[in-house]
Structure formats: structure tokens, C-alpha cells
Structure 1
Amino acid sequence: MATPSLSWFCFVILLCSAAVEALEGGFSVELIHRDSPKSPFYDPFETPFQRVGKAVRRSIARVRGLRLNDEGEPSANITRIDGDYLINVTIGTPPVSIVAIADTASDLIWTQCLPCDDCFPQEAPLFNPRASSTYAEVDCNSDECHVVDRTNCSTRVFIHTSGIVGLSPGDASLVSQIGGNERTHFAYCLVPFFSTSKYTSKLTFGSDALLAGQGIVTTPLIIKSETLYYHVTLEGTSINGKKFEVSGSTEPDAEPGNMIIDSGTTLTWLPSNLYRQIEPAVSAAIDLPRAKDPISGYNLCYRSSGVLKGAPSITMHFTGADVALNWYNAFFELDENITCFSFVPTDGLPVYGNMAQTDFMISYDLTLDTLSFKPHDCAN
């Protein structure tokens, strides 16, 4: 590898894509929520509320990490902040299975490998590249190794998963590699949090990822050279039909690409100037006793269980695309008889989280640089 600090990771830079290209229309894989019984994270003794609480904590940690990454040179931190969706992949010959995080905010495909004197703990055996007949080292002067050399490494400890499959627009990501000389398409449909014990989500690559039919709305994707994220432009949010705009067209928050969409963040983090406008409107719409948020201290919380009575209609206004949310895209049961608002304020990088994305087909067209939404029962 290019630097000694990277020697304890295997970077899967070049993929054998012939089998992928042979599948007309593309292919699909399972996306496994980390709290699904199919996940190595699954703890049958945890309550649903404990799982939700952990997801909120992960979301807070995740956004702190993304905020740091949004400054300076392009980078993809080799860290693990408990991303919410996993995929099973195999590498090497003979194939070795790894469970990796599917991450739209990372560009690398990597796993830990032998020999390793400075690895973080993981439950699965480390990949042994010398036991693979298709393993080959990459020259340090190659373009591929230059991509890895720009990577920002960290020794944060994380366990259970065996690595990350990056889905960002970066050159080293899976999305970029399977497209060959042409930019490709991918889509996913995330089942709601309360369905993850019964159903898995789907991640699709190729032309099958393009949406058709009624109800599709589309917004421009903005790929910024200084970050490896998928940016969209949030113009405002409507609460029960009243629109609140991201303040001022001259403000930085209102510039194109003022928010990223991320599969690994649970909550939705709004620009603080917008959140301050909508919080009173949400509060006024819900006639239920207030409760204290037992975890973050950010959220509007109410004494309620199950379907939140009186939940307001909420529409996200992206440039060219108005996305009308289901009540459970914006509210979640955080504890027994406590339901909270899943939107929180940030003065850092706003993030459209995965809870807001559930029960939508979300399609990334990297040829036209567009992002499309279509309401869908993702359990089916």
C-alpha cells in the first residue's frame, strides 16, 4: 500500500465485473438493517425501544463525523460509526464472505486483512489475501493507489462488521467501478424501522434501478468536488400545508447542494434556521402531553404509542421535487409510550436521514445527476 498507516486494511479497488455486466438490467442485493435477525448485530434480548435508542445515538455520532469530513480535501474516513444497513458480499478466490456496511457517504470498498498487528476487533475472521488466487497488489504509483493515498485513516474501534462497501460518487466506490466507462444507476427501498424484523430492504444496480410509473418526483443531484457526498437542494418544509423556507437566497444554507442524503444516518438534520421555524408549527398541530426526550434532548416528544394521533402532514421541498412524508418518516417511538420527532437542528452539515427515506423507492441516476423518489411499500 502507499503508506504504512494503511497496511492493516485490504482495499478492494478493482472488481471482476464481467458477471455483473452480463446481467441485462442490473442486479439486486439484500440490505439488512443492523437490528434485523439476519444481522450479526442482532440481540434478541434487546427491546424495540433499546434498538431505537441506539439508532438515535449512532445518528448523532454519525453526523458529527460527517461534519468533520465536509471540510478540506476529499476523503473517506476509515472509521465505523455503526451504519444502519449491511450487505453480505464475497471477495477473493475461493470466495470469502464478509458483512459490510452499505454507505452512501463513503467511497472505498475495504476490509481488514492479514497480516495485521494493529487491527480493531471484529467477530469474523480476517481476510487472508495470500490465500486468494485472484489477489494482487496495486502499484503505489498507480491512479488506484493514489485514490487510497488521499484517504483519511482513523483507529476508532468498531466491531461485528468486516468493512464498508462505499456507494458514494467517488472513483473507488462500488457504484463507480461497476459502471465501467459509463456512470451507472442504483436504487434502494428501505423498509420502515418497525418492519425490519420481518423484511429486508433491497439495493439495485443498473437500468433496473430507474423508476417508472406514477408518483415519481425528481431533483438534481449535486456532486461537489470537495466532498464525496450526494448533495441535494432543500428549499423548505411544509407543515399541514404551510411552507417554511430555508432562510434567504443569499444565505449559505440556501445555496444549491445545501443538504446531503445519507443511508447511514437515522435522523434528519435540518438547517437550524429552518428547524426553528417548523418546530412551533409541529408542536401546535399535536394535542398530546409533552414528554422529555430520554436520549438526545433535541426532539419534540409526546406521551403516545403506536400511530401518533394528530401527526401533521409534512412535505419536504427539494428543487423540483415535493416529497410528502408518511407520519412514520418523521416520528418514531423512542421509549414505551414516548413518540418523538425525528427531525433535529444542526449548524453543521444538514442530512436527509434513512428514517425519512423509508417506504420510498429512491433512485440515483448518475448519468443525468438526478435523484428520484417514488412512494412504495418496501416490504413488498
Structure 2
Amino acid sequence: MLIMAVLPLLLMNPILILTIATSTTSSPTTPSLSYPNFQQFNINETIAETKLKPIKDSKHQQELYNLDENHGDNTDGKWRLQLVHRDKVSIANSNDHKTHFHDRMKRDLKRVAALVRRLSKGGAAAAGVVDFEVEGFGSDVVSGMDQGSGEYFVRIGVGSPPRSQYVVIDSGSDIVWVQCQPCSQCYHQFDPVFDPAASASYAGVSCGSSVCNRLDNGGCHAGRCGYEVSYGDGSYTKGTLALETLTFGRTTIRNVAIGCGHKNQGMFVGAAGLLGLGGGSMSFVGQLSGQTGGTFSYCLVSRGTGSAGSLEFGREAMPVGAAWVPLIRNSRAPSFYYVGLSGVGIGGLRVPISEDVFRLNELGSGGVVMDTGTAVTRLPTLAYNAFRDAFISQTTNLPRTSAVSIFDTCYDLNGFVSVRVPTVSFYFSGGPILTLPARNFLIPVDDVGTFCFAFASSSSGLSIIGNIQQEGIQISVDAANGFVGFGPNVC
């Protein structure tokens, strides 16, 4: 007998629906689907969003520099801060959506190639944590698309007194760093480059300290611990490891190990640095695991809506009513958050793909990674081909057009007000089913009506659930108990 429970909060939203199924037997079962097999997708509205122009006047810029992280309420033991609209942070030279799209896809190809290379070599786990005193807290997340990074930004305070900085959040990275003066090589960022000489709480880490020993690529220069991180796409940061105070709203966290980058290059244009949210002990999450339990929750802003998402830390940030799926640990790659994906569905029908295609094997290969730094979800070629063909078979009423960039399934929807498209679903181990909003799998690649099926094939056995598919859905990580949650909120 199947027991079906549909999350009540999500039923109020006709786009995002989560279904949880349990079975009285140990054999895998497919629950009866309790959501629509098709949904309406507003084409006119989505195209209009691609033509929104960011505001760049001097008054707007001054507002950005004066953003106050102290706004927000501390209720229920966690911080809820004033949201920052993603369009507020824009230093891009071009407003052309097609140009932004192609730049984003180029960065994404490099990101995926770097992940595959990194995981093929295996990850090295760092041990230990640093002592902190912190309660639940959070900050605002804004899209990094316009900044040139293609990722998501959070605004934090660095040093004492705190200097406001935008940093990229990355669930696959294990270090926190910002560009620092003196800067022998720095890219352009929105905020002034952080000057450690102006911070009363800055303290360099000695070469022999236990913190320095946790670095994968640590070094020593003039008695100080040096660090170097390469992201595999030509991006890198090099500098000095230090203990510094970080500020999130009204929450101050002392003695956070951060990289003070004096030589930096890469895809981080606009951001001052990076806030690593990976599963390793040197990440921001890992350093605070004793106090927060390694728990955090994020909601990535949906493209073109002009709204913002959120990022919250602490045990209190774990939502009630989420659909929880097991978090799978890969000892070869402890930085990454793996989930058990058992299959995919189109139009309410599960695509006939063996679960073995998505399984993490004993050697640490394959599996499914949730990654905020990858834009487009990748599936192994065999799975992708079956998934794509199932989608094509249910969209024969839509006019096809030629491939664009990494996408081989595209449609010419110019002139359409709205279209009826099949649902796209992820089937997770244990029963939960996540059905995506149409804007999370059909995306505009220009501003004249060309839309593409936002998935791609991977020649490796690794599957990646990217940020396009995560957008607008509350996602929570409970590392202590080994779960990743979806919902119940949307943003």
C-alpha cells in the first residue's frame, strides 16, 4: 500500500510541487502522480524579462555602497534579513541577453570540466575545525549573472570595523577568501578592495599552526601561512591565510580562517571573493559545524523576476515541511553534496533509465552532485538522450529550431503568448519527487523567443544538478543528520 502526502504549502503554488511516497515493502515503487502532467508557460512574460535594463545611475550606485547589513529580525533563533534585488548589483558592459547567455555557457563548460577533473583525482579531506561562537544567522543572495561570475552573491562584512563586500557562494568550494591590499594582481570588483591594515581583528596565521596544516596547498612565506586555490578554469587566488571577523547582519563571527588574496584572476568579476559552503572543514560551513551542526538553507533567486533569494545558517534555519532526501558522502570528494537520484520523468511518466546510471560507486565515481556553481544540469549521455527524447516526444506541437551553444533541443517560440509544456521531474531515492517550474527547464537564449531545454549530456559518469534547476526552490543542507531538503518555500 502506498501512503501519499503532498506538501500543503506547495499546493498553493501550481508550479512547484513535491510529492513524498513511502511503501510498506522494500522494493522500489513508483507512486501515483498527484500533480498535473502539463503546465502553461508564459512566453511573453519571460521574453520581457530578458529585456530588463539594470539601473546604473550615480544615485543607484551610492545606494549599493550604503547597503546596511544590520537590517532584519532575529526571530525563532535565526536571522531574516532585508532582501537585496539581484539587478542592484551590475557592472556588466552589455545589457544584451544573448551575450550574457553565451558568456554564462562558456563559464559553465569550464566549471563542469574542472569538476570532472577534480573528482576524477579524488578529494583530500581536511580535518578539524576552528572554535567559534555563533547562533543562527543569514544574509541575502543575489544573482551574479550581471557581474560576470555567473553565480550567486551574498553581502557580508569583513574585518573590524566591518567592510561590506559581495562574495560568491559556492557549495563546491572549501575556503573563504577576499581580495586584499596590497594587491599585486586583482580583478575589478564592485566594492573597494579589503585592506587588512585597517582591520583591528586581522591576524595572520603562522606556518606551524593547525589551521595552516589543514590547507591542501599551504605554504610558508616570511613566517606566515600562504594559500593557493585554483578552480581549474584559469581562475585562482593566492595570498596569506588569516583569522578574521565576519559580520552577517547583527551576527559577528570571530576567528574565521580566510584567505587574503594578493594575486587573483578569473571569473569572479564584481565579487570581492568567495564564501565556500562545501562539506570540508575549511569551508565556512565546516568551520562553524560545532555551533551550526553544518546546517544551512538557501533559496536562489529566479532569473528575471527582480526578486532576491536568501541564505541562512544554523540549526534553526532548517524548515519544517521540507521533503528530505539522503545526503550521500563521497570520501574521495568530501567538499561536494551528493544526493540519491533514482530517475527522471517527463509529463508524469518516468523515463526508463536504470538507477545504476546515477549511482555513486565504491570507487567514488559517478553519483549526483548538487552544485550552486554549475548552471546547467548534466546527466550521463545515455540518461540524457532518453530524457531529451521523452521531452521531444511530448513537445511535437512546438516549432523546433537549431541547436544553441551546449543545448541540442531548442524551440522558436517567437509570437507565442504562452505554451503548454510537459512537467519535468526528479525522482529521488526514498520516494520524494521534485517537479520543476517550466522556467527551470525551458530558458530563453536570446530576447526574440528562442528557448532551449536546459539540460546537457556529460561524457563522464557524473551527474550535476545545476543552479538553473535549483532556482526559486528552498534547499536545505543538514550535514549532521545526512539530508538535503527541498521546499516547502519558494522564492
Q: How does the TM-score come out when normalised to structure 1? A: 0.81
Equivalent residue, structure 2, for 1:11: none
CA contact (8 A) 2:378 2:463 kept: yes
User: Which structure 1 residue ranges, 5 or more long, are not aligned?
Assistant: 1-21
Equivalent residue, structure 2, for 1:69: 118
* Cα distance, 1:156 vs structure 2: 4.2
Q: 1:29-40 residue pairs with structure 2 within 5 A?
A: 36-40=86-90
Structure 1 residues 29 and 65: alpha-carbon distance in aligned structure 2, compared to 1, 3 A threshold? farther
Q: 1:97-112 residue pairs with structure 2 within 5 A?
A: 97-112=164-179
CA contact (8 A) 2:299 2:474 kept: yes
Q: Name the SS of the counterpart of 1:148 in structure 2.
A: coil
Larger radius of gyration: 2
CA contact (8 A) 1:121 1:157 kept: no
Give RMSD over aligned pairs: 2.7
Equivalent residue, structure 2, for 1:163: 273
User: Which residue of 329, 345, 349 corresponds with 2:440?
Assistant: 329
User: Which structure 2 residue ranges, 5 or more long, are not aligned?
Assistant: 1-73, 126-146, 218-227, 231-235, 237-263
Q: How does the TM-score come out when normalised to structure 2? A: 0.64
CA contact (8 A) 1:299 1:343 kept: no
Equivalent residue, structure 2, for 1:7: none
Which shows bigger deviation, 117-126 or 356-365?
117-126
1:224 matched to 2:330? The reply is: yes
* Cα distance, 1:180 vs structure 2: 2.8
CA contact (8 A) 1:331 1:341 kept: yes
Structure 1 residues 233 and 141: alpha-carbon distance in aligned structure 2, compared to 1, 3 A threshold? same
Q: 1:231-242 residue pairs with structure 2 within 5 A?
A: 231-242=338-349
The number of residues matched between the two structures is 344
Equivalent residue, structure 2, for 1:265: 374
* Cα distance, 1:247 vs structure 2: 3.1
Equivalent residue, structure 2, for 1:27: 79
- Higher strand fraction (1 or 2): 2
Which shows bigger deviation, 107-116 or 176-185?
176-185
Equivalent residue, structure 2, for 1:90: 157
Deviation sequence 1:332-361 (CA, Å, 0-9, x none) = 111211111001111233210111112211
Structure 1 residues 212 and 37: alpha-carbon distance in aligned structure 2, compared to 1, 3 A threshold? same
CA contact (8 A) 2:360 2:368 kept: no
Equivalent residue, structure 1, for 2:133: none
* Cα distance, 1:207 vs structure 2: 2.9
CA contact (8 A) 1:246 1:271 kept: no
CA contact (8 A) 1:167 1:174 kept: yes
Q: 1:185-334 residue pairs with structure 2 within 5 A?
A: 185-195=295-305, 198-213=306-321, 216-227=322-333, 228-247=335-354, 249=356, 253-255=358-360, 258-286=367-395, 287-296=397-406, 298-305=407-414, 309-320=419-430, 321-334=432-445
* Identity rate, percent: 29
Structure 1 residues 351 and 114: alpha-carbon distance in aligned structure 2, compared to 1, 3 A threshold? same
Q: Name the SS of the counterpart of 2:275 in structure 1.
A: strand
Supply the AA of the counterpart residue of 1:314. V
CA distance in 2, matches of 1:207, 1:299: 42
Equivalent residue, structure 1, for 2:248: none
CA distance in 1, matches of 2:167, 2:411: 36
Q: Name the SS of the counterpart of 1:355 in structure 2.
A: helix
